[in-house]
Amino acid sequence: MTTASPPDFVKRPGPVRKLNRAADERFGTQAGLRRNLNKVFPDHWSFMIGEIALYSFVILLLTGIYLTLFFDPSNTEVVYNGSYVPLKGVEMSRAYASTLDISFDTRAGLVFRQIHHWAALIFVASIIVHLMRVFFTGAYRKPREVNWLIGVGLLILGILEGFAGYSLPDDLLSGTGLRIAASIAQSIPIIGTWASFMVFNGEFPGANFLPRLYVVHILLVPGVLLALIGAHLAILWQQKHTDFPGPGKTEHNVIGHRVFPIFAVKSGGFFMMTFAMIALLGGLAQINPIWMFGPYDPSMVSSASQPDWYIGFLDGSTRLMPPWEFRGLGHTVPAVFWPTAVLPGILFTLLAIWPFLEARFTGDTKSHNLLQRPREAPTRTALGAMAISFYLVLWISGGNDVIAKTFSISLNAMTWAGRIGLLVVPPIAYAVTKKLCLNLQDKDAEIEHHGIETGIIRQLPNGEFVEDHRPKPEPVPDYPMVPTDRYALPAANGHGDGHGTGIARRAGKAVSGFFVEEKDKEPEAPGKH
Amino acid sequence: MSDQTGPGTPGPGGPGDQDRPEDSASERMHYAGYQGEPADKADQDSMSSIFHRAKHPVDTSGAPAKGSDVAAGGPEISAGTHDGPEALGTPPHQTDSTRNPQHTVMRGGAGSGGVTPRRPRSADHDRRAERRAERVIALWFMLSVVGTVGFVITNFVGDKHKEYYTPCLGSALGIAVGGLGIGLILWAKRLMPHEQAVQERHEFTSAKEEIAVTEAEIADGFADTGLTRFPLLRRTLLGAGTVLGGLVVVPLLNLTNAKPGKKLDHTSWVKGARLVTEEGRYVKLGDVSIGGIETVFPAIPVTGANGQVSYQAKTDLHTKADSTTILIRLPPGVDRPRKGRENWSVDGHVAYSKICSHAGCPVSLYEQQTHHLLCPCHQSVFDVLDGCRAIFGPASRSLPQLAIAADSDGYLYARNGDYDEPVGAAFWERS
């Protein structure tokens, strides 16, 4: 398993080798192919969360393509005459009618629609959990700030894409969401009315709005998402993955599995597992049953109407906002502007610039490849806990009517609890987390100095009882460590192909030039590059 | 590890019997097994205890990779030897001498450089186990085929209107991809060699010379463009680019077919418009019982050629989006109309915009006892008795009131025409 001397050049290549050589003659693939197949990815369960996001996106693309074949994004009013009896004869948009058709009259339509919706929920969820992993381990530090920025962009676009997606069926729930979106657009100072009219093509509900939303949902945002995901992965590939400290691991190496074969097979299997889980959810767990909501009607709304989970925090911030509307000089800045436009603007901006803020405040301009445990950066971890608690208070408040109803609490009390909680809980989370981190650090230091308690009590000759401690063992690697490259190439001799010495090369050239028709020249082919 | 005596044989020459260790704390530190439990518990062959292996998959005893070879094992003590429960004051067991620091290799021994790999899988040294793993993996792959076939059959043969259809499809697809997924993962875990490949990272920063050359070449190239020498060229290029960029405004503005203008200020209500329900029934006095509500829309009066007035109910989406009105019949005497609105109601009937003044949702929950209207979207609460003033939640404006009256036949109609203020969410141009 260790690096061996170079193998012999196979003179009678099989079909696979032939294909490889054909590609190499045209594109010069060998060095790059070898480098990339031998690329090492470290192994840790937390590194797979981002993979879930990637795989959810692939599932979204696959199921989304299927849905586009049947969905008709049209505002045109039709009378429904499908197989769902309760809505027969009801006037509705063709978007809603075709969604009903997908759900009831298309083979495998409902299951793919539900898989699509579940995959969207899991896509955003895994992005956020991945973001937390990256945050709490300090993986965003130099040189990976750009990938952090791309990741924040992916999160924002993912939320927008999800919102556009669940607004497309034009059911009562999605129409209500769009109405709120229109009100938010309208609330922007100076340009708000124009923005809203531009987005909706006129006064809400606008004219032929759904085809536009459709283009945004299936072309524009997915295109940008795809490009950003590509950049995210390319940068990851180029910079190599971070890893936790461990036996043999330094800032200057990566230890793990090679891409080929173990990482590729494991990742393929993991994609399949993600797909399987989402397929099971899509088949067994009903989601967004639009036929129960009915077509959109601006005069109607169902109580306890909840957006998809990732919009919940904005719903919550809107609910908690006190009725502070600024009026004066003939103008109005509506209350809805602050919690839905300003607050997310601030939150996402802070999120985006965090790596630069941290580098600035800590004065840390070095590059890092080894991750930190959360306890090793107490302030960062505490700030993260603070942000999470802030988000959670907003998110819970987004469903405060459901909570109030379920637990028979006064809705007003829930709202006030949210308003106060939003200010009180994050500082508490900060203080508690920081204390926790520092105590854990103390514990680590103690083990470092005194060893681990064994539970064995012994009596000294003088009668004193002492507990035995043993030194903390050095961690050992799970598996034998081997160099990345299975075969050593002789050092490059200026021509970089590593085949033979200069003299051998020149001899080979001469030989191949001489016996140009002979098959013998085959082994020396690299010399002709 | 080389001088480690075989288990259970405190060897001759071994210091075990003669030199009992000093009863010092520093030495005793090492007596205990370093797996967090007294070493005494470790039996001669830790391989024989499934429990031990399950708890401590990483074997640090210094046992060689070939698990069956016990003889060169680590600091285990002889079989059957058991110190019994730890008791206070128990002197070190006789065999404890073999665990003196100088005879006990704590971490795999110096020779192996502290690297003790995980115990090999049974598939690594047992052909039958290998075949077993192969069969298990193949079974999962076959299960995937079953799932795929199940999906195809359900899709084409199943009745898509039956309840089983979607769950069966989802489960079959789950089995189809999941079987393949589990098979792949087992394949990688059980049959592929386990090793940690070590790869060097490389600095991203280029060599100083490289940077200098690149920068110089770019600077030279820039100088070749002459942008520094020809200010007129530079300025006109910048200017033309900026103006061209301004073109973006065109498609943006073309996005809307209508300027906002005063559209947000008006609804479809006109003077004399009757209040009509969703079903097309004109609302008359007495239709709504006390404490009842009705969602109404405008029915626009149209004077025909013969001078006869007919009403045209407007219940299209656009009308509904801003003209939806909620008609509430209050018990007599509770309403406290605002100044100037004393005659905007008829016989306890009051009409307010149903479009929430906060974010435009329909304010559809009416509490009869408190006469409060609640918006289900963001829980704004409006007090109907007090001119639908916003009393709780994020809404800050009252719901606009529609002045209504009853004609001689008892039909309710809008007496002043449109609302006197914009309905729905506020916006910049609104005063």
Report whether B194 contacts B118 (CB < 8 A): yes
The Cα B355–Cα B402 span in angstroms is: 12
pLDDT score recorded for residue B25: 42
Whether residues B255 and A199 touch (CB distance < 8 A) is answered with yes
User: Which pair of tokens denotes residue A397?
Assistant: 């408040």
Q: What is the pLDDT of residues B161-178, one digit of tens each?
A: 999 999 999 999 999 999
pLDDT score recorded for residue B148: 97
pLDDT band for A526, please (50, 70, 90 cuts): very low
Count how many Cα atoms sit within 13 Å of the Cα of residue B82 in the half-sphere of its side chain. 6
pLDDT score recorded for residue B107: 41
Q: What is the pLDDT of residues A29-75, one digit of tens each?
A: 999 999 999 999 999 999 999 999 999 999 999 999 999 999 999 99
pLDDT band for B182, please (50, 70, 90 cuts): very high
Percentage helix, strand, coil, to 5, in chain A?
Answer: 60, 10, 30
Percent of chain B, pLDDT > 70? 73
pLDDT score recorded for residue A502: 54
Helix (H, G, I), strand (E, B) or coil at A288: coil
Residue from the list B38, B114, B200 with its beta carbon closest to the beta carbon of A253: B200
Strand order in the sheet with B365-367: B365-367, B372-374, B381-383, B389-392
Ranges B118-132, B357-371, B416-430: which has the least confidence? B118-132
Minimal CA separation from B271 to chain A, in Å: 21
A170, pLDDT greater than 90: yes
The Cα B388–Cα B358 span in angstroms is: 13
Percent of chain A, pLDDT > 90? 71
pLDDT band for B89, please (50, 70, 90 cuts): low
Percent of chain A, pLDDT > 70? 91
Instruction: Give the distance, in angstroms, between the CA of residue A362 and the centroid of all CA atoms in the same chain.
Output: 27
Whether residues A266 and B188 touch (CB distance < 8 A) is answered with yes
pLDDT score recorded for residue A510: 57
Asked if residue B193 has a cis previous peptide bond (ω within 30° of 0), the answer is no
pLDDT band for B42, please (50, 70, 90 cuts): very low
- DSSP characters over A423-487: HHHHHHHHHHHHHHHHHHHHHHHHHHHH-EEEEEEEE-TTS-EEEEEEPPPPP--SS-EEES-SB
Q: Give the residue-averaged pLDDT of A273-278.
A: 97
Using the 8-state DSSP alphabet, how is residue A520 labeled? G
What mean pLDDT is reported for chain A?
89
Q: Which chain B residue lies closest to A325 (C-alpha atoms)?
A: B396
B contacts of A306 (beta carbons < 8 Å): none
Amino acid A66 reads Y
**Comparing B308 with B243, which gets the higher pLDDT?**
B243
B96, pLDDT greater than 60: no
Which residue of A90, A147, A186 is the best one to mutate when testing the B interface, meaning the one whose CB has the most B CBs within 10 A?
A186
CB atoms inside a 10 Å sphere around CB A491: 7
A223, pLDDT greater than 90: yes
**Comparing A163 with A499, which gets the higher pLDDT?**
A163
pLDDT score recorded for residue A137: 96
Strand order in the sheet with B196-200: A40-41, A253-258, B196-200, A481-483
Contacts of A482 (CB under 8 A, 6+ apart): A1, A2, A3, B195, B196, B197, B198
Q: Give the residue-averaged pLDDT of B49-63.
A: 44
Report whether A234 contacts A147 (CB < 8 A): no
E strand or H helix that includes residue B329: strand B325-329
A contacts of B182 (beta carbons < 8 Å): 269, 272-273
Q: Give the residue-averaged pLDDT of A175-181.
A: 92
Q: Which chain B residue lies closest to A297 (C-alpha atoms)?
A: B317
CA–CA–CA angle A124, A127, A132 (5° rounding): 130
A369, pLDDT greater than 80: yes
Whether residues A301 and B426 touch (CB distance < 8 A) is answered with no
A461, pLDDT greater than 80: yes
pLDDT band for B120, please (50, 70, 90 cuts): confident
Whether residues B258 and A203 touch (CB distance < 8 A) is answered with yes
Q: Exposed, middle or buried by CB within 10 Å (0-12, 13-18, 19+), for A50?
A: buried
Highest mean pLDDT among A352-366, B27-41, B59-73, B246-260: A352-366
A contacts of B317 (beta carbons < 8 Å): 205, 296-298
Report whether A295 contacts A171 (CB < 8 A): yes
pLDDT band for B63, please (50, 70, 90 cuts): very low
Q: Give the residue-averaged pLDDT of A355-377.
A: 94
pLDDT score recorded for residue A234: 97
pLDDT score recorded for residue B400: 93
- Candidates A64, A167, A187, A216; CA nearest to B424 is A187
Contacts of B74 (CB under 8 A, 6+ apart): B1, B4, B60, B61, B62, B63, B105
Q: Which chain A residue lies closest to B321 (C-alpha atoms)?
A: A298
How far apart, in Å, are the Cα atoms of B313 and each of B268, B275, B283, B310, B318? 11, 9, 12, 10, 13
The Cα A477–Cα B97 span in angstroms is: 29
Which residues are registered as beta bridge partners of B199? A254
B124, pLDDT greater than 90: no
Contacts of B62 (CB under 8 A, 6+ apart): B1, B4, B73, B74, B75, B105, B107, B108, B109, B112, B116
Ranges A65-79, A483-497, B64-78: which has the least confidence? B64-78
The Cα B77–Cα A494 span in angstroms is: 59
The Cα B5–Cα B95 span in angstroms is: 11
Ranges A131-135, B33-37, B330-334: which has the least confidence? B33-37
B41, pLDDT greater than 60: no
Which residue of B257, B315, B358 is the best one to mutate when testing the A interface, meaning the one whose CB has the most A CBs within 10 A?
B358
The packing angle between helices A145-167 and A221-239, to 10°, is: 150
A contacts of B320 (beta carbons < 8 Å): 297-299
- DSSP characters over B254-305: HT-SS--TTGGG--S--TTPEEEETTSPBPBTTSSPTT-EEEEEEEEEEE-T
- Candidates B320, B390, B393, B378; CA nearest to A304 is B378
What mean pLDDT is reported for chain B?
78
The Cα B92–Cα A21 span in angstroms is: 69
pLDDT score recorded for residue B256: 79
Q: What is the pLDDT of residues A84-104, one digit of tens each?
A: 999 999 999 999 999 999 999
A contacts of B427 (beta carbons < 8 Å): 186-187, 192-193, 196, 332, 334
Q: Give the residue-averaged pLDDT of A417-422.
A: 95
Residue from the list A105, A111, A248 with its beta carbon closest to the beta carbon of B198: A248
Percentage helix, strand, coil, to 5, in chain B?
Answer: 30, 15, 55
pLDDT score recorded for residue A455: 84
Q: Which chain B residue lies closest to A115 (C-alpha atoms)?
A: B170
**Comparing A375 with A512, which gets the higher pLDDT?**
A375
Q: What is the pLDDT of residues A282-332, one digit of tens each?
A: 999 999 999 999 999 988 887 667 899 999 999 999 999 999 988 888 889
ipTM above 0.90, yes or no: no
CB atoms inside a 10 Å sphere around CB B56: 18
Ranges A297-306, A434-443, B115-124: which has the least confidence? B115-124
**Comparing A213 with B109, which gets the higher pLDDT?**
A213
Minimal CA separation from B128 to chain A, in Å: 22
